[in-house]
Amino acid sequence: MPRDPQRFVPLRPVEFLVLVSLAEGDLHGYGLTQAIDERSEGAVRLEPGNLYKVLKRLVADGLIESAGHRPAADLENERRHYYRLTRLGERVVALEARRIAALVASPAVRSLVKRFAPAT
Amino acid sequence: MTHRRRSWSERAYTALLRLLPDEIRRDFGGDMRELFTDHLRTERRRAGIGGVLRLWLRTIPDLVYTAFHERERDMLTAISQDARYAGRILRKHPVFTVVAILVVALGVGAVSTIVSVANSVVLRPVPGLARPDELVVIERMNSENTGTTSVSYPYYQHLAHESRRMRGIAAWDVLTLTISTGGEGLLTQANLVTGNYFGVLGTRPALGRFFTADEDDAANPKPVVVISHGLWERRFGGDSAIVGHTVLVNKLPFTVIGVAPTGFSGLYPILRVDAWVPMAMQPTVRRGGDLLTSVGSGWLELFGRLAPGVSHDAAQTELAGLTERFAATTEQSVHGGAAGFAGFAGIRLTTPSALPGNATRSALTFFAILMVLAGLVLAIASVNVASMLLARATMRRREIAIRIALGAARARLVRQLLTESVILFAAGGAGGALLAVYATRLLSRMQLPVDVQLNVDVSPDARVLAVTIAVALITGLVFGLAPALDGSRADVALVMRGDSAGSGRARSRLRSVLVAGQAAASLLLLITSGLFVRALAKGHRIDPGYDVHHVATAALDVSLSGYDSTRARALYAALHDRLRVLDKVTAVAYARVLPLTGTTTGFGINVPGYTPTPREKARGLSAHTNVVSAEFFDALRLPIIAGRKLLPSDRAGAPRVAVVSELFAGKFWPGQNPLGRTFTLGDTNPITVVGVARNVKFADLTETPAPSMYLPLAQEWTSGVTLLVRTSGDPNALAAPIRDAVHSLDATLPPPAVVSFEDATAVSLLPQRFAVIVTATLGALGLLLASIGLYGVVSFTTAQRTREIGVRMALGATAADVVRLVVRGGMSVVVIGIVIGLAAGAIATQILRPLLFGIDPLDGATFVAMPLLLALAALVASVLPARRAANADPMMALRED
């Protein structure tokens, strides 16, 4: 069932963070929250309810899927539920990444960043 | 699967996951618990117990939020499902539903009507004021510090000029003006106001402009007038060309400069004001000479606007200081010296409310009492519905038991049953709102026998409707909760076995408590209304000392139509002659004060040979005074006990004379013949007593008689009088002849309003009359509702006991035995209620004391008659179902169920 990835962009920031984190490899819930925490420099912190609301939506949209339960090396080998990107998910996250990159590269945004958030 | 021991946090989290809908829990519950466990482990390792607590602080809101989010649609579906189901059940029992809704409507309607009246009289915001929270009413306390007095114009000027903590202070006074455009004049209630009046209030004109400073310059007064929006529409057809036009105010040309905004009626919207005239015009339009320079005459009311950031207290301190300074500088120059200024005792600042001064507080108290009574009616009504619901819960035992057996959750059943009662109460609330609209319309049509014109719009507004709906819904929840909790507790096994005793003792005890409560509440209502009825009856029996029947009255003041005193005397004499010859008329008189209308006039006197008490010395001697024409004593049939009445020969220039009351004579010349004695009114001209009249009630029926005197109108002339015409027929039939007579003498005079003396004096019984109407209605309603409730409960319990009664009858009980049994059951509960109601009544009615004309709040007759009345109603309500049970065929009864 091929679906048009364009339909899904722009993504919500949280969804983008989840997809980007999964693009580097399958992750369980805890791993995802860790990855998002790092990637957003602590700005986005997901509690279980909130995270699974996002995952539920992404699963329903067909952007991610379950990768089954398996022992987690980082969690004393307890079995955890892993998630991974679908093909559609990969294309959507790539599309969104390109959109954001283009946005960030635009002169208007660059001058804004220079004026209001100068690099330290 | 690892099997390690779970911590309490994990177990708690697992339990809390139940908040989520099953579907989510199935798909993600495990993952969420795992994630929580992972967080927990990290936090514990990182920060110990503190970390765990912080994790919980984040987790609980997350779970609750998620639960709400996920259940949103479920909840809406469930509510609409419940509502549909409730609707179906209610439609299936139309009699139950209609009766319940009607009962609630009566209760809510009573509350809503009272709230509506209170809202419009006291609570509704005053139209046309800017930032009303900055406005304060400034009142000067009287010398006894018991109330407030009006103030003089120089005092006002002093405050207005010197105050820094007030942004502005304005003064006003009420007066009556005749306004005409050439033809017949219109009597209007008006205000004499300082030039800054509208500015301080922050009112903007609907048309034209308000006063300018030079229009209120006493040295150069300008005849200008601002008219109300209402007058503009009624009298001038809403024609905007009115601005700049000239109208006749008391026959003098005034220019209309502006129209006030819709509904604006000054600080007190209930007092209708139709015109505003600048203060500088006072000597022209208001009696009493030039009051603008008189320091001694108090006649103005003050209000002001606080400067930004100034508190009430700060402003009050400043104004009190200014008052003291004013008193100190003017003391010597004022007639009466220091005594005249003893009145500057203190200053009181109050927030303006819809009624002037203390009236707000007493009105609020009065409404609070009525609110409590209306609340009692609503409580009785709600209890009725609650017991109906309880009874039905018993009948629906089987339905509920089946649903429980099929796995319905108790919470779901409670919600279902609550939905039913809330729907009932919501429908009843809507009915109550309709009732309130109707009842307030009836109330507005009630004619108030008072001579001030009132703006009374008591119809409910959005605020009242909101309160009504809230009241209905809250009562629905409160009174629906007990039956719902009870109804959902069916014992499946018992019910399925078909045991009709399964209703349980707790349920019937609850029902008894409800009935006892109803009886107590309705007895309280009955006692209150009984006391008011007794008070009103006593008020009617009070002998004022003269005959109030067969007298027509009309207020006249031709000085408002430009008459000087010579022309006024001639006109009043001519009017007297014209009316005196009418058929059936036996006396025609004029009096300065119409007795029994709440007005007291006292003149200061000096009596040679009398030694005043220290208190009298400080305050000055005075006596109630009426200034009357010769036939006054005939018109009111006021008996003269000694000497003579006043005669037409007691005219201006003739020796000054007076008729005094028995009390007057007894006080100043005890044990002596008062005839021929003299006294003076401040000046030196002696007045000779020529007659002694019987003691009478002067201002109202509750007063204790005080020394009073009657002076001849011709010698103490005033043109503001009340005409009194005694007839042997119907006084109301004199209205047209009196108006015709006035018109034929001067067609430009405003037609006087003719009222029978009886109606005019009804004002002195007004609070009692109103209280009787309201409390009797509420009392009757309460009694009816409580009887319906008792009837319902007795019928229901009797029906439940059909089999038992059948057994008793089969074993030889007679019909009379059965009736006694059932009635005893009903009445024992009512008697408990009566005892409680009597106790509550004995305490609660103490607050009514001031309204009762000396009837004891524990009035024996009331406290005996009302319980009997209630017991009688209860007896009827329980005998009816008892007889039905007794007449049942025992065999049929045994076979039932």
User: Which residues of chain A are within 8 Å of residue B24 when distances are taken between CB atoms?
Assistant: 52, 56
Residue of B nearest to A72 (CA): B38
Sole residue written with tokens 């006087």: B752
C-beta of residue B192 within 8 angstroms of C-beta of residue B221 = no
pLDDT at residue B340, rounded to an integer? 46
Average pLDDT estimate for B401-410 = 79
pLDDT of residue B51: 83
Which residues in chain B have their CB less than 8 angstroms from residue A42's CB?
none
Tell me the shortest Cα–Cα distance from B71 to chain A, in angstroms: 13
Question: CA B242, CA B240: separation in Å to the nearest integer?
Answer: 5
Task: Name chain A contacts of B32, Cβ cutoff 8 Å.
Answer: 29, 48-49, 52
What is the pLDDT, as a whole number, of residue B172? 92
Indicate the pLDDT class of residue B441, thresholds 50, 70 and 90.
confident
Contact A55 B28 (CB under 8 A): yes
Q: How far is B134 from chain A (nearest CA, A)?
A: 45
Most confident range (mean pLDDT) of B13-22, B72-81, B888-897 is B13-22
Q: Is the interface score ipTM higher than 0.90?
A: no
Per-residue pLDDT tens digits for B336-367: 444 444 445 578 888 776 666 556 666 777 78
d(CA B142, CA B604): 18
Average pLDDT over every residue of B527-538: 85
What digits encode the pLDDT tens for the residues B872-881?
988 888 888 8
Q: Do A56 and B69 touch (CB under 8 A)?
A: no
pLDDT at B5: 67
CB contact under 8 A, A30 and B59: no
- Beta carbons within 8 Å of A50's beta carbon, 6+ residues apart: B62, B65, B66
Name the amino acid, one letter, at B883: R
pLDDT grade for B497, boundaries at 50, 70 and 90: low
Give residue B839's pLDDT band: very low, low, confident or very high (50, 70, 90).
Answer: very high
* Predicted pLDDT of residue A41: 82
Adjacent-strand bridge partners of B482: none
Question: Which chain A residues have a beta carbon less than 8 Å from that of B62?
Answer: 47-50
pLDDT band at B454 (very low <50, low <70, confident <90, very high): low
Q: List Cβ neighbours of A29 (8 Å cut-off, separation of 6 or more).
A: A48, A51, A52, A55, A80, A81, B31, B32, B34, B35, B38
Average pLDDT over residues B552-578: 88
Q: Which residue of B has its CA nearest to A32?
A: B35
Using a CB–CB cut-off of 8 Å, the residues of A that contact B are 28-30, 33, 45, 47-53, 55-56, 75, 78-81
pLDDT > 90? residue B200:
yes
Q: Smallest Cβ distance to B31: which of A47, A52, A78?
A: A52
Please report, for residues B371, B553, B872, the alpha-carbon distance to residue B752 in angstroms, rounded to integers and kept in the order given.
Answer: 39, 9, 52
Q: How many Å lie between the alpha carbon of A18 and the closest alpha carbon of chain B?
A: 15
Q: How far is CA A105 from CA A41, A110, B750, in A?
A: 21, 6, 88
pLDDT in tens, A72-99: 877 777 888 899 999 999 999 999 999 9
Q: Per mean pLDDT, which range of B370-374, B681-685, B825-829 is the poorest? A: B681-685
Spatial distance between the Cα atoms of A36 and B785, rounded to a whole number of angstroms: 67
Residues of A in contact with B38 (CB under 8 A): 29-30, 75
Residues of chain A neighbouring B58 (CB-CB closer than 8 A): 45, 47
B592 vs B76, higher pLDDT: B592
Q: How confident is the model at residue B145 (pLDDT cuts 50, 70, 90)?
A: low
- Pick B34's closest partner by Cβ from A49, A50, A81: A81
Question: Could A52 and B28 be called an inter-chain contact, meaning their C-beta atoms sit closer than 8 Å?
Answer: yes
| Lowest model confidence (mean pLDDT) among A59-73, B46-60, B220-234, B734-748 | B46-60
Task: Give residue-wise pLDDT tens across range B613-650.
Answer: 877 776 677 788 899 999 999 999 999 999 999 999 99
Neighbours of B447 (CB within 10 A): 8
| Model confidence band, residue B498 (pLDDT cutoffs 50, 70, 90) | low
Confidence bin at B4 (pLDDT 50/70/90): low
Best interface-test mutation with A: which of B9, B28, B41 has the largest number of A CBs within 10 A? B28
pLDDT at residue B1, rounded to an integer: 43
B-chain residues within 8 Å CB-CB of A78? 2, 34
Which member of A29, A47, A78 has the closest CB to residue B59? A47
Supply the mean pLDDT for chain B.
82
Residues of B in Cβ contact (< 8 Å) with A33: 35, 39
Q: A56, B34: Cβ pair inside 8 Å? A: no
Question: Do residue B39 and residue A30 have CB atoms under 8 angstroms apart?
Answer: yes
* Overall average pLDDT of the A35-53 stretch: 84
What sign does the dihedral A57-A63-A69-A72 (CA atoms) show? negative
Give CA–CA dist A45/B55, Å, rounded.
12
DSSP A97: H
Find the mean pLDDT for residues B566-572: 92
A and B: number of Cβ contacts within 8 A: 60
Inform me whether the pLDDT recorded for B3 exceeds 70.
Answer: no
Q: Flag whether pLDDT at B578 surpasses 50.
A: yes
The pLDDT value given to residue B542 = 75
Q: How does residue B673 score in pLDDT terms, banded at 50, 70 and 90?
A: very high
Residues B10-66: tens digit of each pLDDT: 888 888 888 788 888 888 888 888 889 888 888 888 877 888 888 888 888 888 888
Nearest CA in chain A to B31: A81
Please give the share of chain B, as a percent, with pLDDT higher than 70: 89
Answer yes or no: do B31 and A29 touch at CB < 8 A: yes
Residue to substitute from B3, B6, B31, B32, interface A, most A β-carbons within 10 A: B31
Q: How many CA atoms lie within 13 A of B548 on its CB side?
A: 24
Residues of B in contact with A14 (CB under 8 A): none
The answer to whether residues B171 and B194 touch, using CB atoms and an 8 Å cutoff, is yes
Average pLDDT value over all residues in chain A:
85
Q: Which residues of A touch B20 (CB under 8 A)?
A: 49
Mark yes or no for CB contact A75/B38 under 8 Å.
Answer: yes
The pLDDT of residue B455: 63
Q: Which of B717-726, B753-762, B829-838 has the lowest mean pLDDT?
A: B753-762
Residues of A in contact with B21 (CB under 8 A): none
Joined tokens for residue B437: 């609209």
Predicted pLDDT at B491 = 64
pLDDT value, residue B760? 76
Alpha-carbon gap: B408 to the closest alpha carbon of chain A (Å) = 28
CB B533 within 8 A of CB B776: yes
